[in-house]
Amino acid sequence: LLSALVTAVAATAVATPSQAANPIITSIYTADPAPLVVGNTMYIHAGRDEAPTGGSNFVMREWHVLSSTDAANWTDNGARATIATFPWAGADAWAGEVEPRNGKYYWYTSINGNGAGWMNIGVAVGDSPLGPFTDAKGGPLISDSTANSSGLNIDPTVFVDDDGQAYMYWGGYWGPRAVRLASNMIDTVGPVVTPTGLTNYWEAPWMFKRNGLYYMMYAANDTSGCVTDSNYACQRYATASNPMGPWTHRGVVLGQVSSTTNHAGIVEFNGQWYIVYHNANAPGGGNFRRSVAVDRLYFNADGTIQPVVQTTT
């Protein structure tokens, strides 16, 4: 009887995992994950890496939606948006994030403007986290001609505050940028500004709020506590009492991963916090053949974040 009881308890423990085996999907390569919780499901909107073995450039033409109801068992729901979703776009299905509002799901993403500047930010809209998604604006939300020219228009993160005001942060290589969004979620309001305090910012911002405090996580590639080789990146974070900053740098959340790029999102799901990121750990993986990983994230009592322990199996 005792051994039967032990077996039953063990089976129960196995049946209720809350931690994925990493990488979570190995049938394709996936990158730039953006987690979103809707009801009892965690969705991850991610680009698909299609570079050949040994490739030295990004080949990205579509975005997939991954989903799970337990953060351990993941389904690839296929390509739910592609470059063709944006009739004005030409290439480069780079990073993005889906933000819900008023029963709609807005997918902000980085994409080549097919002659209208190198990288632009487009926005598609759908009725569910799985889409289908269609171009919401008929052209870029942010393009080279509408932002300052000191960096790339990539990696948008969008956050809707409790009062309904929406904010978008983005930017790669030479500094972050921020702007307010209109309630229709497809127009900007006011000037594009350069937020302060995001120490050693490189790319890939991710904004969220916890216990009234605003958090900004972002990729940095300095060798002052971030990485030992500046071809790689870590994830630093900052906090603020105002969604437009100023920000106060707090430290490194996620150290160097096995891919040169480091791009992550943070989400609360079923009462636990998770960090979703990518690495090169899948069989045949590499810097342009990345795979999404999920790990637990822990906060200290004062709101600071404990460094992530990367699980690789």
Residues that bind ligand FUB (CB under 6 A): 31-32, 47, 58, 94-95, 110, 154-155, 203-204, 261, 263
Shortest distance in whole angstroms from residue 77 CB to ligand FUB: 20
* Lookup: tokens for 11: 């089976």
Shortest distance in whole angstroms from residue 149 CB to ligand FUB: 18
Are residues 273 and 267 in contact, defined by beta-carbon separation less than 8 angstroms?
yes
* For ligand FUB, the closer CB: 95 or 216: 95
Contacts of 45 (CB under 8 A, 6+ apart): 33, 34, 36, 63, 64, 65, 80, 96, 97, 98, 107, 129
Shortest distance in whole angstroms from residue 274 CB to ligand FUB: 18
Shortest distance in whole angstroms from residue 235 CB to ligand FUB: 11
* For ligand FUB, the closer CB: 102 or 117: 117
Shortest distance in whole angstroms from residue 241 CB to ligand FUB: 27
Q: How many CA atoms lie within 13 A of 11 on its CB side?
A: 6
Shortest distance in whole angstroms from residue 163 CB to ligand FUB: 29
* For ligand FUB, the closer CB: 199 or 235: 235
The CA distance from 130 to 185, in Å, is 18
C-alpha 95 chain-centroid distance: 7
Q: Give, in degrees to the nearest 5, the angle at Cα 24 between 20 and 30.
A: 150
The CA distance from 110 to 302, in Å, is 35
Q: Give, in degrees to the nearest 5, the angle at Cα 20 between 303 and 28.
A: 120
Q: Dihedral through CA 243, CA 253, CA 158, CA 178, nearest 10?
A: 50
* For ligand FUB, the closer CB: 236 or 263: 263
Whose CA is closest to 279, among 43, 12, 49, 17? 49
* For ligand FUB, the closer CB: 94 or 169: 94
Shortest distance in whole angstroms from residue 219 CB to ligand FUB: 6
* For ligand FUB, the closer CB: 135 or 155: 155
Residue-wise DSSP of 12-38: HHHHS--SPPSSS--SSEEEEEEEEEE
Shortest distance in whole angstroms from residue 110 CB to ligand FUB: 5
* For ligand FUB, the closer CB: 171 or 245: 171
Euclidean distance between the first and the last CA atom of the chain, given in angstroms as a whole number = 34
* For ligand FUB, the closer CB: 80 or 289: 289
